[in-house]
Amino acid sequence: MLQILHDYFWWERLWLPVNLTWADLEDRDGRVYAKASDLYITLPLALLFLIIRYFFELYVATPLAALLNVKEKTRLRAPPNPTLEHFYMTCGKQPKQADVELLSRQSRLSGRQVERWFRRRRNQDRPSLLKKFREASWRFTFYLIAFIAGTAVIVDKPWFYDLRKVWEGYPIQSIIPSQYWYYMIELSFYWSLLFSIASDVKRKDFKEQIIHHVATIILISFSWCANYVRAGTLIMALHDSSDYLLESAKMFNYAGWKNTCNNIFIVFAIVFIITRLVILPFWILYCTLVYPLELYPAFFGYYFFNFMMGVLQLLHVFWAYLILRMAHKFITGKVVEDERSDREETESSEGEEAAAGGGAKNRPLANGHPILNNNHRKND
């Protein structure tokens, strides 16, 4: 049964154009071709990335955060309360008014004290500013190095200037060492992101992030096995061209350099729109959809590759919408927050509201919480 499944999975008609077999892609005469077995190395490399990331965050990102004066907000901890803790863990972090009244009777606390407890408890679970800075620093470093390396890999290739040459001689296109390592390192990094996503800062687009990582891993792996390597290197370099700008904007935001953050974010938005909504669909996708049909009939691999590219393109449209919303707020001078972030609730009205009395009472309320307009801008 396993052999039958193996044979069906690696059936040439699924992966290769008509009249071609895997025998045509066997190494010969000093020419090396992409093979599925090459991908095994990406899993240990992903674990190596996680180890390198740990030491990078500890010995590079943390001192850098101190140098840039990244400051943590003081968070008041919720006092131990088994009744409220049980509700928090089993029923939800945002109790409704009826739940607040019930919990108030069960815990013998006032409704305001119950609401305050849940605010503090939610803030305890939110990642620290230092954790966010470390993650952004790691991703910035990788994306910047990957963009420089990827550009070096493709800039001297003829298909970088003439996209029709991407398919010249396909699929019998040999692989050079720089292409091999560029692919393996990129794929390993995305594996590491997928492995660490549960422990990383969780954002509102958590599901979209998982879809993106899985789609990217499938796309890179499939393009390697089907020898779509020339197109793959162009796509990966194009994606890396804007990612490091976003991560650097986050770093400056966490450091409190608001003007620098805003300026970098505007540059990032421009680069993102040009690369993901113009170059990718109108040049790269056109190259993968139209040019191959001039050489051979469409086959399953052709449809699958372009379907996964379509999934990524939809995600780019979704993120572009969020980016444009933020950019509009920057330009109009409104308070800006990352649309994906989970906003930290203010503590200034908690311990002081009973003592200060009228100060909090005079403020407008949202769900019983005083609204503070401190003009603080956050991008992540």
**CB 222 within 8 Å of CB 16:** no
Domain harbouring 92, CATH code = 1.10.10
Q: Is the pLDDT of residue 344 over 70?
A: no
pLDDT recorded at residue 56: 97
One domain for residues 148 and 291: yes
Residues 102 and 207 in one domain: no
Residue 338 confidence class, pLDDT cut points 50, 70, 90: low
Residue 343 lies in a domain: no
Q: Is the predicted pLDDT of residue 310 greater than 60, yes or no? A: yes
Whether residue 139 contacts residue 251, with contact meaning beta carbons closer than 8 Å, is answered with no
CB neighbour list of residue 201: distance below 8 Å, 6 or more residues apart:
127, 131, 132, 135, 380
Q: Is pLDDT above 50 for 275? A: yes
On whether both 57 and 87 belong to a single domain, the answer is no
Q: Is the pLDDT assigned to residue 73 strictly greater than 50?
A: yes
Segments of the chain assigned E as strands: 365-366, 369-370
- Residue 6, pLDDT score: 73
Q: Which of 68-77, 252-261, 331-340, 353-362 shows the lowest mean pLDDT across its residues? A: 353-362
Q: Which residue has the tokens 């999934």?
A: 311
> Which position has the higher pLDDT, 3 or 234?
234
Residue 369 reports pLDDT greater than 70? no
Mean pLDDT, range 53-81, rounded to an integer:
89
Return the closest-CA partner of residue 53 out of 151, 132, 122, 137.
Answer: 137
The answer as to whether 344 is a domain residue is: no
| 225 lies in the same domain as 273 | yes
Q: Is residue 2 part of a domain?
A: no
Q: Are 234 and 159 in contact (CB under 8 A)?
A: yes
Q: Is residue 64 part of a domain?
A: yes
Domain boundary among 125, 142, 160: 125
Whether 122 has a pLDDT exceeding 80, the answer reads yes
Three-state SS sequence of 17-30: CCCCCHHHHCCECC
Residues 216 and 154 in one domain: yes
Reply yes or no on whether the pLDDT at 342 is more than 70.
Answer: no
Q: Are residues 293 and 180 in the same domain?
A: yes
- Is the residue at 198 inside a domain? yes
Kindly state whether residues 218 and 319 are assigned to the same domain.
Answer: yes
The whole-angstrom separation of Cα 284 and Cα 182 is 19
Q: Is residue 148 located within the same domain as residue 211?
A: yes
Range of the domain at 93: 82-125
In this structure, is residue 144 part of a structural domain? yes
Q: How many C-beta neighbours within 10 Å does residue 127 have? A: 15
Q: Residue 329: is its pLDDT beyond 70?
A: yes
User: What is the mean predicted confidence (pLDDT) over 312-326?
Assistant: 90
What is the rounded average pLDDT of the residues 264-287? Answer: 94
Q: Is the pLDDT of residue 297 over 70?
A: yes
- pLDDT (tens digit per residue) in 132-155: 999 999 999 999 999 999 999 999
**63 and 169 inside one domain:** yes
Residue 353 lies in a domain: no
Mean pLDDT, to the nearest integer, of 262-270?
92
Pick from 285, 171, 186: which is nearest to 227 by CA?
A: 171
Domain count, the chain: 2
Q: 344 or 7, which is more confident?
A: 7
Model pLDDT for residues 80-111, shown as the tens digit of each residue: 888 888 888 888 888 888 888 888 888 888 88
Task: Based on the fold, state whether residues 222 and 244 are members of the same structural domain.
Answer: yes
**Same domain for 118 and 135:** no
Predicted local distance difference test score (pLDDT) of residue 346: 53
> Are 34 and 97 found together in one domain?
no
pLDDT at residue 351 in the model? 42
368 within domain boundaries: no
Of 379 and 231, more confident: 231
Sign of CA dihedral 236, 239, 245, 248: negative
Q: Is the pLDDT reported for residue 21 higher than 50? A: yes
Q: How confident is the model at residue 328 (pLDDT cuts 50, 70, 90)?
A: confident
Q: What does the alpha-carbon distance between residue 131 and residue 109 come to, in Å, rounded to a whole number?
A: 34
